[in-house]
Structure 1
C-alpha cells in the first residue's frame, strides 16, 4: 500500500475505466438538460394557463436569473484545465497560474451557489410569503430543483473529467 494514500481501502479499478468516464459525462449532460427542461416547463406552464388569473403570478425574468447564474457557473468551473490548479511548479504560463485558476474556480462555484441561493430566495419571497396554493408554488419549487440539478451536474462532470483514463496521452513539444 502506498504511503501517499489518504484512506486505507484501495480505489476500485472500475473508476479508471474509459466507460465510467463516458457514463459520468453523459449523466452530467442528462442532469443539466433535465434541470433546464424543468425550468422551461415551469415557465411554459406559467404562461399557458387557461384562466389569466390562474396562476395569480407568472414566471418573469427574475425567475430566470438564478438559472443563468448556475449555467454560467457550470461553464466557468468545467472550462478550467485541472492541471492548472497545481501549476505553480511549471513556469511556461507565467507566474501565479495556480492562484489565478483557483480564483476563477472560486468564482464559478460562487456563481453556482448564488444561483441556488437565488432560486431559494425567489421561492420564498415570491411564492411562499404571499401564501400561494400548490400549483402556483410549484413554479418556485421547480426553479430550486432545476438549479439543484445544474449544480449536481456540474459536480458529476467535474468528477468525470478528473478520472484518470487508461488512454491518457501527454503530448509535449
Structure 2
C-alpha cells in the first residue's frame, strides 16, 4: 500500500510508505488472539480432572504467552506510530496510518476479550466472568 502525494502538491512523491514493519504488530496481536482462544478454560481452572497439575500449569503458561503477544503487538504499534510517523512530523493524512495500526490492534484485543467471555456463557442469560 502506498500513500498518495500531498494534495497541495500532486507532483511530489509521497514521503512515507507502509512497509512490513507496520504489519508486524498486527501479526503478533493476531497470533496472541489465536493462542488465547485455543486454550480450554476448564484446563486453565483445573476443573474436571484434566490430567496432572503440569497440564494446568502449561495451559496457564500458554495463556500468559498469548496475552503477552497481544500486549506486545499493541506496544509495537504504538512504537511504530511514534518512531515512524509522529517524530517525522508528517502531515495529518500520513499520521492516519499509525492511528489505523493502533486501532487495529485494539480491535483485535477487544475481539479476543469478547470471544473469551462468550465462551464462558453457561446459558443464554448467564454470564460467568471468571478465568
Structure 1 residue runs of 4 or more that deviate by more than 6 Å after TM superposition: none
> Across the two proteins, how many residue pairs are aligned to each other?
119
TM, length-normalised to structure 2: 0.83
* Distance in 2, Cα, partners of 1:153 & 1:88: 25
* Distance in 1, Cα, partners of 2:99 & 2:3: 18
Cα drift, residue 49 of structure 1: 2.4
Larger RCO, structures 1/2 (Cα 8 Å, 6+ apart): 1
Contact in 2 for aligned 1:70/1:116 (Cα 8 Å): yes
TM, length-normalised to structure 1: 0.64
* Distance in 2, Cα, partners of 1:122 & 1:86: 36
| Counterpart for residue 151 of structure 1 | 109
Cα drift, residue 98 of structure 1: 1.2
Alignment of 1:66 with 2:21, yes or no, is: no
Unaligned runs of 5+ in 2: 125-131
Alignment of 1:98 with 2:56, yes or no, is: yes
| Counterpart for residue 82 of structure 1 | 41
Q: Secondary structure at the match of 1:96?
A: helix
Q: Secondary structure at the match of 1:105?
A: helix
Cα drift, residue 88 of structure 1: 7.0
Instruction: Give me the CA root mean square deviation.
Output: 1.8
Q: Residues 133 and 48 from structure 1, CA distance in 2 versus in 1: closer, same or farther, beyond 3 angstroms?
A: closer
* Distance in 1, Cα, partners of 2:4 & 2:91: 15
Give the one of 8, 13, 18 matched to 1:53.
13
* Distance in 1, Cα, partners of 2:117 & 2:53: 27
* Distance in 2, Cα, partners of 1:48 & 1:142: 14
| Counterpart for residue 128 of structure 2 | none
